[in-house]
Structure 1
Amino acid sequence: MKPIPAFVVHCAELLAPAGSVRTARMFSGWGLYLDEVFVAIVIGEVLYLKADGQSRPQFEAAGGHRFQYTRQGKTQDTGFWTVPAEAMDSPALMQPWARLAVQAALRSRAGSRRR
């Protein structure tokens, strides 16, 4: 089994004050869970946090970028956004973003259960 990349460990440490962090290999990156709620993906050396219609404006206002990928020649948008650069240097500065991601993930989970 390959070791967890240093950047993924760094991201987990940034999120740790918000809850119990678990990492999981996925596709071409990593998934991060807080208290078993899927809140983030790491692709290469970029952390993307879960956002939704309610929290997306905050990510946009902070200069965040949406994770996109190409599938069958078409660009696909996701609900994952980058955080401000300073949040990548400090667990304290990451916490508001982590809370937004958890809230978005819980809203998404609740919405899918209602269907």
Structure 2
Amino acid sequence: MAVSAEYKEFLAEQLERLGPVRFRGMFGGAGVYLDDLMLGLIFDETLYFKVDDRNRADYEAEEKGPFTYEMSDGTTGALHYYEVPERLYDDPDELVQWARKAMEVMRAARAEKLARAARAAERKKAATKKQKATPAKASPSKKPSRKPKA
């Protein structure tokens, strides 16, 4: 089910203190973006924020869990996006605090991704440098064939 324009407008108003929130359709739902980072998901008019060890306890204390979906092989997959408690819609200040924590998670994830890419590039550069520095081994020459003495 597509996310209604009314729900997106409601969330944009709730989160406006963070800055301009954008929505991008995805798989029947929508991604919630701020500063080019996807801090949340919307599916079936339910909001989910990005979670890691920094903020997971907040959601677990509210008995909220991750967004789950059925995979093609029949198993259930889960994302690192947890359902936002409905009570937060009545307290925009607290909702914004939870959204800020989700942004911190996304910024940390982006920094880690960039650091991994930099390390991989450095390893590749070092391997290329090492390969160029190692002289190529000459192929072994064939031994001259010995003709039997007559």
TM-score (norm 1): 0.89
Give the deviation of 1:24 after TM superposition: 0.9
The RMSD of aligned alpha carbons is: 1.8
Equivalent residue letter for 1:22: R
Residues 85-106 of structure 1: per-residue CA shift (max 9 Å, x gap)? 2212332121111111100111
Q: In 2, Cα distance between the equivalents of 1:112 and 1:53?
A: 17
Residue 33 (structure 1) aligns with: 33
Q: Which structure 2 residues correspond to residues 32-51 of structure 1 after superposition, within 5 A?
A: 32-51=32-51
Greater relative contact order, per chain length (Cα 8 Å cut-off, separation 6+): 1
Give the deviation of 1:12 after TM superposition: 1.9
Are 1:80 and 2:84 counterparts? no
Give the deviation of 1:82 after TM superposition: 1.3
Are 1:68 and 2:68 counterparts? yes
Q: In 2, Cα distance between the equivalents of 1:20 and 1:63?
A: 30
Report the secondary structure of 1:17's partner residue: helix
Report the secondary structure of 1:52's partner residue: coil
Give the deviation of 1:62 after TM superposition: 2.2
Structure 1 runs of 4+ with >3 Å offset? none
Give the deviation of 1:5 after TM superposition: 2.0
Residue 108 (structure 1) aligns with: 109
Equivalent residue letter for 2:37: V
TM-score (norm 2): 0.69
Report the secondary structure of 1:63's partner residue: coil
Q: In 2, Cα distance between the equivalents of 1:89 and 1:11?
A: 12
5+ residue gaps, structure 1: none
Does the 8 Å contact 2:3/2:30 carry over to 1?
A: no
Q: In 2, Cα distance between the equivalents of 1:65 and 1:11?
A: 20
Residues 3-58 of structure 1: per-residue CA shift (max 9 Å, x gap)? 95211221222121122211111111011111222101100110001111221112
Q: Percent identity?
A: 32
Equivalent residue letter for 2:58: Q
Paired residues, number: 114
5+ residue gaps, structure 2: 117-150
Q: Which has the larger radius of gyration?
A: 2
Residue 92 (structure 2) aligns with: 91
Q: In 1, Cα distance between the equivalents of 2:101 and 2:41?
A: 15
